[in-house]
Chain A
Amino acid sequence: MPDPTPPAHPAPHTGRVWLIGDSVDTNQLAGGGLAGKDRQDTLRINCLRGLRPDFTDHVRPGDILVAGENFGCGSARQSAVEALQLCGISYVLAESVARIHRRNSIALALPTMTVPGITGLVTDGDRIEIDESTLTVRNLTRGGHLPLPQTPDSVREIYRAGGMLPVIAHRLAAQGIHPPTTP
């Protein structure tokens, strides 16, 4: 039976737009290159560097990535989502999202939405507001808005849990399997 009380919507989020093109694959999000201090640092400093060398130096927590068609195509790299999170990206809005990357974004709880027309609504550096309760994205810099897609309750449950791993932990616990240590 579905949960009779659907999960609450997050508060509206306002952030600055980074606009990138079509067919940005997971290799460009998490394909290595420069050597960082550790794995996470390496992921962060190489994210989108081939396309936007200024990205990792200037991206700030809460920024929003807006992409064209087929965002996240290519290898089944969950680290592609992790790299965006390490850069502080809060939302990804794209004309379309490749299948595996979309599922990985759910698994890591990075809101990633297909919004047809989004690359025509914004230009690089605009401020936009994402309101999941009214299902609207609004351009605060130059006006205009678009509808956001409805997120199925089953997917919102995973977002609310914080991703796939907490769901696994919860289900293991229900089977009587508990961690030997505190995570």
Chain B
Amino acid sequence: MPDAFPQTIAEKVLTRQSRSGTPLRAGDTVDADIDGLLVVMYQYFRNAYKKIGFPDGPPTVWDPDKVFLMSEHVQPPPDLINAYTNLAARRDAERLGLPHFIDSEPGVCHQMMLDHGLVRPGELVVGCDSHTISYGGINAVSTGIGTDEAAYVWAFGTLPFTVPETVKVVLHGTTAPTGKDIILYLAGRYGETFAQGRALEFTGPLVERMDIATRLTIADHAVEVGAKFGVFPADDKTLEYVRARTDKPFTPVGADEGALYAQVIEIDCDAIGYQVAKPFRFDNVVPVAEVAGIRIDQARVGSCANGRLEDIAAVAEVMAGHRVAPGVRFYVSPASMTVYRQSVEAGHIAALLAAGVQVVDPGCSICQSPGIVLNEETCISSTTRNYRGRFGGSQTAQAQVYLATPAVVAASAIEGRIADPTPYLTRKETAHA
């Protein structure tokens, strides 16, 4: 290739996926070939085609094998409109011959993408949900887009991209707390726009000690600091994780030595304790001690951020021998049916039920409503966001939502007040085992 120079992951992948053949730098604009498209909320997607004269759904698809259509946001459907949408999705999937249509399986789309091996290292993947970025945890280069852009990709398989600048985040340490604590700490220290429109590359000696779940949590929340991509390197743990779920070939991507970064951030994760984001921003972060004692009415664990087996296990460990405080509603939602089944087999679900936890179906509703938090109430949650009205819409704009790692949420549910989980843990938390 002419004029080769050391490239970041974003530069490399967009160079490969563009058809120009010349190496790209941050700032270049390019049409990139898409390796995978996730479509959820099909009602709106289908409506896009209706608006341009196709009332019976999209007339074509660029590559049926690269489209992943899921009913999950509305499975089971809560109303007639969505029930009919799911019917239309079934008919469209059959007409267009979509092999990866996931219909009667509730869950969070992103966890199902991982469970079913539909996303792989090195791929460029887009989806009409902002947390599509989470696949960076397994070295995919992925990001969220809107409905009409998804309709464009569906038909043509490409999308214009500006090659982003990259911020390198070097994670040091040996026994850091959870992924949630690391990303909350980063947001608190550098602000919720420090990665606006940029790519994040996570690297450093701590990464190889992190399990995949921890990486996925951090990558998921890259969008909460504005990032376009948030990518971890692929190592043996990544390859083992992916190969257990798909036999399709893939090529992991890594940055070149000497690649140009807009910023390099070095973090000593050993110094990070449990972190909590106060209302109403992801970067309004303090150590748990500063908010300990605040009364809560509701606690939630789940979502693409923290609804994996490791998160359910963390809750079960804290709850062992304890019960949810009177007056507190504690909802726990495994992120997918696979996670749910694994949690049952591990005995976690029985432990949660015995502790008075309300175990709810897998799905994206754990991040929105039902489970409304009223203006008079306070909630602590391991889910994705704490913006105003997140759990109830415009009439609940004063409801207080704090974000924290599942162990903090569980300890808070036991005490009825925001609490440090350390006394409830039988051993030092092993998020990076």
Residues of A participating in the B interface, judged by any CB pair closer than 8 Å:
23, 25, 27-28, 31-34, 46, 48-51, 69-70, 73-79, 96, 98-100, 103-104, 107-108, 152, 154, 163-169, 171-172, 175, 177-183
Contact = CB atoms under 8 A, between A and B. Distances in A.
Which of B55, B128, B145, B392 has the most C-beta atoms of chain A within 10 angstroms of its own C-beta? B145
B151 A168 contact: yes
A24 to B, nearest CB: 9
Which of A73, A96, A178 has the most C-beta atoms of chain B within 10 angstroms of its own C-beta? A73
A31 B394 CA distance: 6
Interface stretch (B190-198, B294-302, B347-355, B420-428): B190-198
A27 B385 contact: yes
B246 interface: no
Nearest to A169: B52
A98 B129 contact: no
A172 B393 contact: no
A73 B396 CA distance: 19
In the A-B complex, the 7 residue pairs with the closest CB atoms: A179-B53, A50-B397, A33-B394, A33-B393, A183-B53, A49-B394, A104-B146
A78 B151 CA distance: 12
B205 interface: no
B392 A33 contact: yes
A75 B393 CA distance: 13
B148 A78 contact: yes
A168 B152 contact: yes
B256 interface: no
Interface of B: 29, 44, 48, 51-56, 59-60, 128-130, 132, 144-149, 151-152, 155-156, 160, 192-193, 196-197, 223-224, 226, 228, 280-281, 369, 385, 387-390, 392-397
Contacts of B385: 25, 27, 74-75
The B contact surface, by secondary structure, is: loop
B147 A78 contact: yes
A76 B38 CA distance: 13
Contact of B149 (A77, A107, A172, A177): A107
Contacts of A75: 129-130, 385
Given A27-B390, A100-B130, A182-B53, A165 B146 contact: no
A28 B393 CA distance: 7
A23 B192 contact: yes
Nearest to A29: B394
B146 A103 contact: yes
Contact of A49 (B44, B54, B395): B395
Nearest to A170: B52
B51 A28 contact: no
Given A51-B397, A103-B145, A76 B130 contact: yes
B156 A171 contact: yes
